Amino acid sequence: MFAKSMLTQDIAPLKTSDTGAYALNWMEENKVSHLPIVNNVEFLGLISDDDIFTLNDFEEVLGNHKLSVPALYVYEDQHLFEIIKIIAEHKLTLIPVLDKKNRYLGSITTQTLTQNMSKIASVETPGGVIVLELNTRDYSLSQIAQIVESNDAKILSLCVTSKTDSTQIEVALKVNTMEIGAILQTFMRYDYFVKASYADSEELDDLKDRFDSFMNYLNI
């Protein structure tokens, strides 16, 4: 999933001749705290609401504002995971997308990112969830996949979470079947510790609701 497929054209970029007041109103309307400044197709930088409040002159044109945010952007062929890393590191609500000639193409918002994260996690696809806890040195994706597939199932999504100051990791799998009993037994036969499993429709609905609530929180 690449930047080009997640572009939004609904949020028009700012111009250097726009005022701080106009920029703040546009940010509020689009529920973002950052907006790109563009001259025709030339990307000039990102401005934040803090930049405008710091100057404390809302009628001043943006060309006179000092930008506290670096000229951050991604290229159209960069992957979702790279984009998430940049946005998280710099606490952005939006990131501009450029082509290989450094021309501005559009932007990606955190809302768009969370929607695509939901697709990657296969939240809407029916299936059971299995959470394994194991040591980093024992992690083998090929073996985990082999165990699942030996029980006539497929992995729809997989997430690995590291524990702080520990060699332990959690591996959360979503599989394409609600009948996960045989898969669980096979994992235990191979000495995997199954920390949690969800195959009941009400449990999965609860997980989905929690995921949706988290996504909505991120979009605020």
Domain range list for the chain? 3-118, 122-219
Residue 41 DSSP code: T
Global pTM exceeds 0.75: no
pLDDT at residue 120, rounded to an integer: 62
pLDDT at residue 84, rounded to an integer: 86
CA dihedral 179, 180, 186, 191 (to 10 degrees): -160
| Structural class in CATH, domain 3-118 | alpha beta
pLDDT at residue 122, rounded to an integer: 59
CATH topology for 122-219 is Alpha-Beta Plaits (3.30.70)
> If the chain, 220 residues long, is cut into consecutive pieces of 10 residues, what is the mean pLDDT of each piece?
86 94 95 93 91 86 80 91 89 93 93 73 77 94 96 91 86 92 96 88 55 51
10 Å Cβ neighbour count for 103?
13
Determine the Cα–Cα distance for residues 37 and 167; give it in Å rounded to an integer. 44
